Structure 1
Amino acid sequence: MTPTITGLRPLSKRERLREMVADAVRAAVISGEMKPGSVYSAPTLGAMFGISATPVREAMLDLVREGMVEALPNKGYRVRAVPEEELDEITHVRLLLEPPTIRAVVPLVPEGDFPALRELADAIVQAVRDRDLVAYIDADRVFHLKLLGYAGNRQLSTIVSDLRSRTRLFGLTPLLESGRLEESATEHHELLDLVEARDAAGAQALMERHIGHIRGKWAHGAERALRG
């Protein structure tokens, strides 16, 4: 007999709708269909999805907490542009956390884990080649959190995951079209080369460059998007 797990329960239809709407809006922001500064009301979005406004409001409140949109009283929700100053601050915190943690986990990654890590890195590159920005962001997050997870610090992984979600998205489409995003994608295999060679200092240095590259390319892509 299968034991009952009292802490788990099936999602209600309303909860499923909430998750589906949140995922769809994230995808639209990532792809550039919903641009920073655009305002959408819950009834308008509900009509687009063919559902009532209630699960839409719930989903948008989740995205408000993520920093993707901001609520406008009596108007709806505005897609949020991440200010340059905020991006710089987040990048600074990531540089404080991620490169030294990568250095620390280099001797901790079991040899037998590298094939699976290579598959995760391949998924990032493949997503770029498929021009699937949603899959790219998800694969990138999974790869980096998997590596950081060898440190055994769940709080650090949670913080980094949150920081990554807040540095997203606007400007990625121009980077994809220019081919610059694939350059960043291939750096994940370079990082694994260094980890597999047990070059802790080299892995830390590459992680520092990788975060810096992402920040610079993000800014370049955003500038192009604004001009376009």
Structure 2
Amino acid sequence: MYRYDIHDQTLVDERVAQFRDQMERYRAGRLGEEEFRPLRLQNGLYIQRHAPMLRIAIPYGMLAGNQLRALAEITRRYDRGYGHFTTRQNLQLNWPALEDVPDILADLAKVQMHAIQTSGNCIRNTTSDQFAGIANDEVEDPRPWCELIRQWSTLHPEFAYLPRKFKIAVSGAAQDRAAIQVHDIGLRLWYNADGELRVKVLAGGGLGRTP
């Protein structure tokens, strides 16, 4: 799995500091609700009827052991001791206190995690086969392709304010466990008779209530 370099870590740390300042201004009344809304959505934070919800990015469903332990500790410290893994390989905290969210993001940054682009009308987490890398029917590991898409799309200014959220999935196996047909773009990796890698592109799927 991808490991942060100093530039990645600096970017995530700066993003945490930026959001901490935004949260302080919002809670002090210096940022209005409409001003704060796009800022919190860019950091995975929803304010719902009963409690805030924070969606944490897990790129193509891969977690290291220290990251999983950090998530467990975060759920115990800031939530109700559990989180909800989503169908698109993220993790949601459904009961965090609003004022704790910057601290949660700071704890995530310590283990090379964040909540960037997990909400809002942007390119969301690129998902893949949950058995990628070990599936018997796999012809090509889709995870490097997912990582390339992640690096290309993260914080890309052209994709920050799309008309709707945009979702991509990649599969490299005979069985489509990544459900590429119900994503905006689905990619299936395969080899032709000459042993050349090819990509089948499906477009126009969707998981939201509206296209």
TM exceeding 0.5? no
- TM score, norm. by length of structure 1: 0.28
- Larger relative contact order (Cα-Cα within 8 Å, sequence gap ≥ 6): 1
Higher helix share: 1
Q: Which of the pair has more CA radius of gyration?
A: 1
Please identify which structure carries the higher strand content: 2
